[in-house]
Amino acid sequence: MKGMVQVYTGNGKGKTTAALGLALRASGAGLKVFIGQFVKGQEYSELKAIEKIPGLELEQFGRSCFIRKEPEEEDYQAARRGLEVAAKKLSSGNYDIVILDEAMIALKYQLFSFADLWQAISQRAEGVEVIITGREAPKELIDKADLVTEMKEIKHYFQQGVKARVGIEK
């Protein structure tokens, strides 16, 4: 089976959720999945669920807070370490799917370069499917990907002051 590169981007909710849904499907089919979450170090409900699902492995590469204005040195270090780990997972032959969650945000903040990201993807083991999520996918990634899905926000209750809810948004 040829491994494809999928991109889930856009300003709407659901990019990570879609990637995790694919991971759940893959686990049900007996596939092994690595999920690397960039710029995330917070506690999310999916972390608890993934621990209970065979064949899924998740590692976060971020601080316990979002980047507010300018990245700090710790953000750069975490993202670069994450890309190194992801490159090893991609090339190891031990995983059927590698999800690079919020890699586009890491690109936006220039925590690593597109060239470095694409090199890691290009050197993956044969058959490895790659899913990359995050807002503002760069044109060069859209051009190289096999599948690109844009999540478009039409309406969101956050605009009415609803905070992130456990089990729904976090």
Does 84 fall in a domain? Answer: yes
Mean pLDDT, to the nearest integer, of 106-119?
96
CATH number at residue 62: 3.40.50.300
User: Could you tell me whether strands 147-150 and 129-133 are parallel, antiparallel, or unpaired per DSSP bridges?
Assistant: unpaired
Each residue's pLDDT tens digit, 25-42:
999 999 999 999 998 767
Domain count for the chain, please give it: 1
Range of the domain at 41: 5-160
Lookup: tokens for 110: 């220039």
pLDDT number for residue 67: 64
112 domain residue, yes or no = yes
- Report if residue 169 sits inside a domain: no
In a domain, 123, yes or no: yes
- For residue 20, the model assigns a pLDDT of 94
- Band (pLDDT 50/70/90 cuts) for residue 49 is confident
Residue 168 forms part of a structural domain: no
For 106-124, the three-class secondary structure string (H helix, E strand, C coil) is HHHCCCCCHHHHHHHHHCC
Residue 167 maps to a domain: no
